[in-house]
Each structure stands twice: as structure tokens, then as C-alpha cells.
Amino acid sequence: MPCARLGGAAFAGIVVLFSSGVLLFLYLGTDVPAARLVFLAALAAVLVVAAALTAWLHPALKLRYARWRLTPAALEIRSGVWFRHLVSVPRARVQHTDVECGPLERRFGLATLVVHTAGHQDSEVRLDGLRHETALAIRDQLLAGGAGDGA
């Protein structure tokens, strides 16, 4: 969760920089009425607060509703904060798997398991926010035929 919150904080920072740049351009480079500029500044402040709240609250909600289970027949992934999704990947359709780690994920010891399957819909299924060791264990069990479950 700290990894996702840090990523969200970076996004909120980008929103702050972009909105500040736009407001500065409007203030210095155009003849926008002061009332309109104040309105735009208030709108930018609302966007920044919304981005910050989302960065803080969404990772906890996402984690709360994310589950995975590895059965002898398939890998099942449940996710979604507002719209719930259930993806079931039959082992027979698994072509190969990848374990990805971005810079923030590496810092926190996390990884994303990417399962590539035959077919067009959901041909790439991602299971993110896993501990690196867990992602490697799921990958090995998927390819070897073992079973397990977790959250």
C-alpha cells in the first residue's frame, strides 16, 4: 500500500505542477479577468485535493477487494473497487508468465505477475501488489501444476 500511495502522490504532484503552470501562463501571458482566474485557481485546488484524496484512499480500497486463488484447474483473480471483476485463467491456456518489478515495486519488495494466455480476451492477466517471493512462487506453481491460495 505505501508503494501505491507513493505513486499516487507523484501523480498528485504532477497535477499540481501542471495546474500551476497553466495558471501562471494565464496570469502572465493573457488578459484573463481576475474573477475568472480566481475561479480557475479554485478549480485547480479542488483537483489537487481530489487527486491527493484518491492517492491516499484508493490503494486501501483496492487492496481490500483484491483476492487471488490458485487451484489445480485455474488461477482466479478478484478485483475492483467500484466495478468488481472475476478473471479465471485455466492452467491449460497459460502460455507463459512474467514477473515484473518497477522501481517503486523493487523499493518495497513487490512485483507484478503477468500471465499470458491463448486467446484474445484477457490474453494478458496482471496480478499486482504481490510480494516478490509470492509472485515467483505463483509463477512456479502455475508452470509446474501445484496449488495454493492467498490474498
- Same domain? For 81 and 140 the reply is yes
Shared domain for 52 and 81, answered yes or no, is no
One domain for residues 119 and 94: yes
Q: Quick one: 49 and 95 in the same domain?
A: no
Looking at residue 150, what is its pLDDT? 52
- Could you tell me the CA-to-CA distances from 57 to 14, 60, 133 in Å, in that order? 18, 6, 26
* 26 and 94 share one domain: no
Backbone angles phi, psi at 109, to 5 degrees: 70, 30
Are 114 and 84 in a shared domain? yes
How far is 80 from 149, CA to CA, in rounded Å? 19
Q: In this structure, are 73 and 142 located in the same domain? A: yes
Supply the pLDDT for residue 16.
Answer: 81
Is residue 85 one of the residues assigned to a domain? Answer: yes
Quick check: pTM over 0.75? no
> Would residue 151 count as lying in a domain?
no
Mean pLDDT, residues 51-80: 87
Scanning 65-146, the segments in alpha helix (DSSP H) are 103-108, 132-144
Residue 56 lies in a domain: yes
The dihedrals phi and psi of 114, each to the nearest 5 degrees, come to -115, 120
Q: Of 20-24, 71-75, 92-96, 104-108, give the lowest mean pLDDT range.
A: 20-24
More confident residue, 1 or 2: 2
Segments of 16-66 assigned E as strands: none
Domain encompassing residue 84: 67-146
Please say if the pLDDT value at position 129 is more than 60: yes
Q: What is the mean pLDDT of residues 98-118?
A: 90
- CA dist 4 to 85, 119, 142, 146, Å? 20, 30, 26, 30
* 78 shares its domain with 133: yes
